[in-house]
């Protein structure tokens, strides 16, 4: 049997090396935010329960969210500065799922050279993630990287909120080569 996985090897991406060593500083900025600082994710037909966000940058996705981005960025200067220096980011911010929230199966409408990273910041028991056929959970301080063009869904069946840093990012040429090789192997296995 194949050891194929839909989840990508996070170590292959420069963003992982940037975020994981700093996760406690990023989390420290997140934990001082009040629940009222988070706003509902705008596409409420895509989920049940309460999916909330504290955006720090909105590029090409949910740009119409009713938030004061400059105020949010001033409240989380380390996180905003870190990702701005990285430079290959799209939308990013904190994503929170309250208990009993389910983001329905979907594929993201992103470009083929853009991936999504999730940095676990506050991950309680019962926070679940499915990408393709693989079921995983986040871990505090660890990055998951995945191809949003593959069907995925999340759920928080626990009793505490789950919060991650969500980052859409474009790929370097080496990262794109890796992704195309993974996609090629997946197509060959399916074909």
**Could you read off the pLDDT of 32-45 as tens digits, one per residue?**
999 999 999 887 78
User: Is there a domain that residue 1 lies in?
Assistant: no
Domains held by the chain: number = 1
> Which pLDDT value is given to residue 108?
84
The pLDDT assigned to 1 comes to 29
Q: What is the pLDDT of residue 176?
A: 94
Q: Which residues pair with 156 in a beta bridge?
A: 101, 127
Query: Does residue 2 belong to any structural domain of this protein?
Result: no
| 4 has a pLDDT exceeding 90 | no
What CATH number did the domain enclosing 92 receive? 2.60.120.330
In contact, 83 and 25? CB cutoff 8 Å: no
Establish if 116 belongs to a structural domain: yes
pLDDT band with cut points at 50, 70 and 90 for residue 188 = confident
**Strand pairing report for 152-156 and 127-131:** antiparallel
Question: pLDDT tens, 42-59?
Answer: 877 899 999 999 999 988
What is the pLDDT at residue 45?
Answer: 82
Note the pTM of the prediction, 2 decimals: 0.93
Model confidence over 65-79: pLDDT tens digits? Answer: 788 999 999 999 999
Provide, rounded to the nearest whole percent, the portion of the chain with pLDDT above 70: 95
Q: Dump the DSSP string for 90-136.
A: EEEEEEEE-TTEEEEEE-----TTEEEEEEEEE--TTEEEEETTEEE
110: containing domain = 7-190
What are the beta bridge partners of residue 115? 169
Q: Is residue 67 part of a domain?
A: yes
- Residue 183 domain-assigned? yes
């Amino acid at each position: 049997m194949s050891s194929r996985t839909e989840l990508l090897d996070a170590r292959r991406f420069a963003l992982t090396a940037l975020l994981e060593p700093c996760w406690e500083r990023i989390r420290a900025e997140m934990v001082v935010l009040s629940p009222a600082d988070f706003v509902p994710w705008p596409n409420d037909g895509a989920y049940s329960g309460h999916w909330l966000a504290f955006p720090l940058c909105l590029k090409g996705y949910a740009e119409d969210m009713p938030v004061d981005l400059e105020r949010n960025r001033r409240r989380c200067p380390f996180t905003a500065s870190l990702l701005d220096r990285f430079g290959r980011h799209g939308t990013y911010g904190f994503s929170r799922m309250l208990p009993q929230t389910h983001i329905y199966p979907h594929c993201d409408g992103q470009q083929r050279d853009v991936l999504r990273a999730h940095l676990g910041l506050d991950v309680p028991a019962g926070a679940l993630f499915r990408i393709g056929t693989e079921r995983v959970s986040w871990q505090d301080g660890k990055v998951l990287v995945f191809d949003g063009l593959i069907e995925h869904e999340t759920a928080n069946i626990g009793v505490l909120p789950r919060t991650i840093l969500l980052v859409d990012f474009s790929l370097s040429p080496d990262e794109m080569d890796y992704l195309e090789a993974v996609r090629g192997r997946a197509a060959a296995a399916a074909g």
